[in-house]
Chains A and B, each alone.
Chain A
Amino acid sequence: MTDRTVRTPANVTYPDRSHGSALRTFAMGTPFRTPDRRRFGPLGSSWRTPGRSEVLKRIDNQRIRTSTPRSRYTSKTAEEVLTEHTEVEQHNIKELVGKVWHVFNLTPLYNFKENKSDLQHYSRTLSSHIAAECKRGVFVDTSEPGDATVALFSGLDVAADDHKAVLIEIRGKARNKNEDKVISQAVLFSTDLEYNPLKAEIKEEFTYFACMLIRGPESVSQTLQNWIEVQFDCKVVKQTFTSHELAFMAAMFTGFSEVHKPLELVYKVPKEIEGLSHIDYSTNASDCVRLWNKIRGTDSEIFTTEEANKFITGLESHFFEIYSIKLNAMQLLTIGTSIAFVGQDGRLKVHAKSPENVLKVCRHLTDVSVDRLTVC
């Protein structure tokens, strides 16, 4: 079993960008990210207070990447005080837990205003749009949607560059029932942006939400995406995760040390092998955490591909020893950790118990989305 440092799963068609390729080191596109390193805040560190974001606003690769800046350590004691969230925020963050979301990428929204009258206007437009689609007979088999509300959603914006998150709720009646309940929700957010990808001269007109989570019936989701595209002149793209990214997330989420669910990896078996379609590999969570702690000796901020690879190859080589099946030749379809369940087609379900970890998941999603945005 060779210790491979590069994962090449079988059927990936998307160019695997996460290998620190030359594509990203030139100042075209999003200029300054090398995505084989991710920000990772384990074990009670680094929620940045507004004051400290000055340090990180300087787009300085070296300082952020390889060493933890001094300022983080000096005010470590002050952190605990400032990382309390208000009750509303706690409630909002809890809203994300336990539901199956689909993840989408957004380009910056044009002309999004956040004062109350504008939000009401958006709500009304969306409601009438949904009513129009109803009349056209799009929602035949599902419940009939009614009103929509667009509102700000606090708690998910952490850094100074973040815009307050937006929650869009669509209420409706299920067929043959009378009560009105929420049938679909969408959250647009960008948590803990390291830097604002928009250039200074256009920043006022555009609002950047890195990521959008939608839950609910597919037709309502499509209607909502259409409306956003036309209203704000943006493009909504479904977010898919490659096997490499899923493995990275599996490793990273294990590090958050929640142990109430086992680590589950589902692999897809190539079609040539008959009789077997998926392999489901579950490991006890506390064992995974132990493996994790062995791999990551230091308490650093940065979490690299090599560490993730070591983790995954550890698990896979263990499987190989027992069953003689090479898992790294197969495509990873979904991962399930105590923090979240993530699927290759962009499905997400957050199980995390503490709000910090939910925010960390959001932050990772934001990172992944920002990488995919090209800014010229």
Chain B
Amino acid sequence: MEVDEAVNYFCSAKSRQKFRGNTELISALECIEHTALNKGLSPEHISSLVDVAAAGIQVETVCKRIIKSLIPQTYVKEEAALKCISWICTRNPSINIQCLLLRWIIVIYDYIDTRTNLHGMYGVLFHFLHYRVMMPYICHLLYLFTRKEDVRLFRVRFLLQYQKDMGPQPFLTGLLSIYRYYYPSLVHVVNTRSYKSFFPTYDKKWSSVIQQVREKIGVSPTIDVTFEKALLERLGTSSNYVDLMPSKKRRKLDPIPVLHSLTTKSSYKRDTMAHTLGLQTIPFVLIQSFKGLLDHLDNVEYPSQIGAVLRSDPLKHFMSFTKDQIACARFQFWISKTLQEALVNSLKPNHKQRVTSLLKSTKLFSDFLQEGIPAVDIEIFDYLHTWNGIQYSPLILQLISRSRIYPFPVLYDRVLEPLRKLFFSSSVYGKCKIIMCFTDLLRNYAANEWPRNQEKQDEDTSLCLFKQDKEDFDGSDVIKNIVKFVCKICLTGLVIEKHNGNALFEMCVLDFLDLVSNMHKEYNIPFVVMADSRLMETLLISCNILTVNRVCTVLCRYKENFDLLRAAERNGQLKNSGIQRETSRLIKLCNSLVVDFCNSLWRLRAFTSTDKHSLFYQDISDLDKENMNARRKDNESLSLFCHPAFLPFTLKYIEKNDFDPRINIEELRPLKRDFLHVLERHHFTGLSQFVSTFVRRESESSTSKSQMFGFSPTSTHVSSMSTSRMT
């Protein structure tokens, strides 16, 4: 028999029919059951069969069996559920059938296509709570689709009253817990149970049968993930922390609060009024993802404890979008006290985990906003004065590098001075970490804080979330002073650490110099800061070839930046004449460095008696005039071939080309460029870059080898340095 025929048979039956022995009826019933278990029933069939079952025309067992076999193939039409409810209203079917219908709705709740009209039935369903037999099922159903506007004061009162009379029942507590999720101020019940214990699944078998059938067909489990479903998931998973008030132990264990709805009394009144106007406010509890935030952007309200922003990414987006100063103030008060407590009072070892996670979440928030939070800055700077340099050190250093820009004296007192003390009292690895912290700090200032400092006050489009009363100070001053300071301590550090672990430290210093040299080009800072020349010269005479290589690249980069700066000045982009004079002075400095480098590496004349400021200055009167040979040897000692960094490669080169091991440097001179190629093949390209930038190839016409070097910015202020010497 076909399903359609069977359904038609039942639909057309107008009067009660005998069950026993009625083969037609039984076969129709069995057909329906069989189809349902194999393929599920189509929506139309389900709708009509609901009518049949609830109408009460047939015998009760028949109705029961029909309802049990209402397994949806694809989805269930909303009108089927509505019909169920309306049949229950008529009180026509027996109470068992009514309960069964309710259970059926709960079981197929996920498969109903739309629920808009169903929400309208809320009041009707609530009315049925009076009937005690149906109460658990009604509570479960209401739990599934309560929305914020369904929470009304009279309903809450009714439930509380009932609970007081009859004692706490799990299903009532469950429904109240949903109410409390929306309005904590209305409902004051505590619950320590989770969703599963509220509504024990009494129809597990039924729902599993349905799932099996659907899997057999190959349909996806649910139609769509709606708001309520998100709520259920959230309530279901967070088992212990649904409760509003944390216990004392939990407060100590995890100082970051959990998201909760607002606890103010007025929110209920406001929402009832708003609802009549058609508005809707969503408590942040229900926003699970960024998409959810976007959907309800106009309606979301902040949670009761703003510290929860450290836990929730959508809330971070929301806070930075709305730029609400009240929320920012709340957050800053909270974070300053929490950090004070955590950093200053953390004496016991098991606090470490907590404090680390707190610092980590703060850092994540700061990185998300790409700005320093003033309250956090204050607390960290205070902590620095008593910090031992080891505890939480990566996080503290990262938070420092995220800090805001302050006038240099303040910055020096609060940050640079304590870090300097730690620098000189720690091992080489500690020194490297601190130099990296300074590099990050400078990068942060150049990239983020410089624009913030430059923008005018009271502008509407401000770049930061946490507004600070701005003082008028010059950011360029800070940047220059920081560079000077760091260069100084790097130099001292290099001298101290001459023997142990030098290479790593030099790499960190060179990272810093890379950043400094490139600031104009990368971050559009309208000036160039020149690093300390002594530092560069010290790096030149190091024993590590990587260092020498990189320091040459740094010089090349400086040239690039100076060129760009000069071009910008010529184009009229930078109007500051002070900068121009400063730039000229710096270019002179840079030039002298270039001359030194060239002299020592390329021209084999390391020591000069003319430039008093250079590292390689040798007073003529001190020299032994007789011993020209020794002098020449000295001059050659830093050359490309004899430099301690390049020596291994020189030896290899000699070996490879089968030269006499005792070969004279003079004979190797013509092979300089070839040697450079060898180095290039080993990926030490800095030197070749330097040579190609600064050393001009000898002209073919002249017989004497004349070499010209130095670079001249094409302006009238600085004279070009070009000398030609007889070699």
Residue positions of A touching B, CB distance < 8 A: 13-15, 22-23, 26-29, 105, 107-108, 110-111, 117-118, 121, 124-125, 127-129, 131-133, 135-136, 138, 199, 201-202, 205-206, 219, 222-223, 226-227, 229-231, 233-235, 237, 372-374, 376
Contacts and interface: CB of A to CB of B under 8 A. Distances in A.
B726 interface: no
Given A15-B385, A121-B265, A235-B337, A374 B378 contact: yes
Contacts of A235: 333-334, 337-338
A132 B189 contact: yes
Most chain B beta-carbon neighbours within 10 Å: one of A27, A125, A135: A125
Given A132-B189, A205-B326, A206-B329, A111 B334 contact: no
B248 A222 contact: yes
Interface in B148-207: 185, 188-190, 192
A222 B245 CA distance: 11
B496 to A, nearest CB: 28
Contacts of B375: 374, 376
A136 to B, nearest CB: 7
Interface string B562-604: 0000000000000000000000000000000000000000000
A59 B305 CA distance: 32
Most chain B beta-carbon neighbours within 10 Å: one of A111, A124, A132, A374: A374
B245 A108 contact: no
A234 B347 CA distance: 24
A233 B334 contact: yes
A125 B189 contact: no
Given A110-B326, A131-B188, A233-B304, 4 more contacts: A13-B344, A23-B414, A129-B245, A376-B336
Which 8 pairs from chain A and chain B are nearest by CB?
A128-B188, A132-B190, A376-B374, A107-B333, A235-B337, A222-B248, A374-B336, A121-B265
B337 A237 contact: yes
A205 B251 CA distance: 25
A32 B329 CA distance: 19
Given A121-B185, A231-B263, A133 B245 contact: yes
B338 A110 contact: no
A230 B188 contact: no
Given A13-B344, A27-B469, A133-B245, A107 B337 contact: yes
A107 B257 contact: no
A121 to B, nearest CB: 4
Contacts of B406: 28
B216 interface: no
A62 to B, nearest CB: 20
A270 to B, nearest CB: 17
Interface string B332-371: 1110111011001001000000000000000000000000
A296 to B, nearest CB: 32
B52 interface: no
Nearest to B467: A376
Contacts, number: 117
B719 interface: no
Interface string B297-338: 000000011110000000000000000011001101110111
Most chain A beta-carbon neighbours within 10 Å: one of B329, B374, B413: B329
A138 B305 contact: no
Contact of B305 (A22, A121, A128, A229): A229
B22 interface: no
24 contacts: A22-B413, A23-B414, A28-B377, A108-B333, A110-B330, A124-B188, A125-B188, A128-B189, A131-B190, A132-B190, A133-B245, A199-B329, A222-B248, A227-B245, A229-B251, A229-B257, A230-B257, A230-B263, A233-B307, A234-B334, A237-B341, A374-B378, A376-B378, A376-B466
A13 B347 contact: yes
Contact of B245 (A13, A199, A226): A226
B382 interface: yes
Contacts of A129: 188, 190, 245
A177 B332 CA distance: 46
B382 A23 contact: yes
Contacts of A136: 190, 192, 247
Nearest to B466: A376
B125 to A, nearest CB: 27
Interface string B376-389: 01110010011000
Contacts of A26: 410
Most chain A beta-carbon neighbours within 10 Å: one of B188, B325, B382, B471: B188
A202 B326 contact: yes
B23 interface: no
A124 B338 CA distance: 28
Nearest to B341: A237
A209 to B, nearest CB: 13
A27 B471 contact: yes
Interface in B599-653: none
Contacts of B340: 237, 372
Contact of B386 (A13, A105, A107, A199): A13
B189 A233 contact: no
Contacts of B61: none
B190 A28 contact: no
A230 B304 contact: yes
A26 B190 CA distance: 47
Contact of B344 (A14, A28, A132): A14
A205 B341 CA distance: 25
A117 B337 CA distance: 31
Contacts of A127: 188
A29 B326 CA distance: 18
B264 interface: yes
A43 B471 CA distance: 42
A26 B406 CA distance: 11
A290 B716 CA distance: 80
Given A13-B344, A231-B263, A376-B374, A132 B332 contact: no
B245 A132 contact: yes
B246 interface: yes
A149 to B, nearest CB: 16
B520 interface: no
Contacts of A373: 333
Contacts of B304: 230-231, 233
Interface string B240-270: 0000111110010000010010011100000
B555 to A, nearest CB: 39
A13 B345 CA distance: 8
Contact of A28 (B192, B260, B378): B378
Contacts of B332: 374, 376
Contacts of A199: 329
Contacts of A107: 333-334, 336-337
Contacts of B334: 107, 233-235
A234 B449 CA distance: 30
Contacts of B190: 129, 131-133, 135-136
A289 to B, nearest CB: 36
A202 B330 CA distance: 10
A111 B247 contact: no
A268 B304 CA distance: 43
